[in-house]
Amino acid sequence: MLFTVNGEPRTVRAYPMERLLDVLRLDLGLTGTKEGCGEGECGSCSVLMDGALINSCLVPALQAAGTRIVTIEGLAAGENLHVLQQAFLESGGAQCGICTPGMILAAVSLLNAKPTPTVEDVREGLSGNLCRCTGYGQILEAVMEAARRRIVA
């Protein structure tokens, strides 16, 4: 199938019902996208598909054909981290890191829709993403800080 991943056209041989998560990790080596539950509950496998946040463990390759996918590897510009990556790093919003790529992509999706979110908006925007380590406080702080920096930038 042919699709665009992080701005590059990519062709892979995949079974139609192969999970997009496996295509990304195993066929393309993009292991930043994580598997948590494997059944649509935790958000660890979140990526953007044509700008919408999706759980890649639930999307078959067939459905991803012809789309534009953005994974965590597509956010930094060379050595420069994305504002959300930097804010997560500084606030301690990433600990074991399993939820982090999905959290950051959920936050990208949220800030694209609501550039000046309230804490409640952030809570709601990240409600599909579970974290077992941080207690969520640092994650909320990171997203609010990234929103502030984007306003200033």
Quote the CA–CA distance of 53 and 113 in Å, as a whole number: 11
Site residues for ligand FES, 9-38, by CB under 6 A, read: 35-38
Residue at 10: amino acid letter:
R
Q: Check residue 107 for interaction with ligand FES (CB under 6 A).
A: no
Site residues for ligand FES, 116-135, by CB under 6 A, read: 131-134
Q: Check residue 62 for interaction with ligand FES (CB under 6 A).
A: no
> CB 92 → ligand FES: shortest distance, Å?
9
Q: What number of CA atoms fall less than 13 Å from residue 142's CA on the CB side?
A: 28
Strand residue runs (E) in the chain? 2-5, 8-11, 46-49, 52-55, 68-70
Q: Tokens for 128, please give them.
A: 């599909």
Choose between 44 and 91: whose C-beta lies nearer to ligand FES.
44
Residues binding ligand FES (CB under 6 A): 35-38, 40-45, 55, 57, 94-100, 131-134
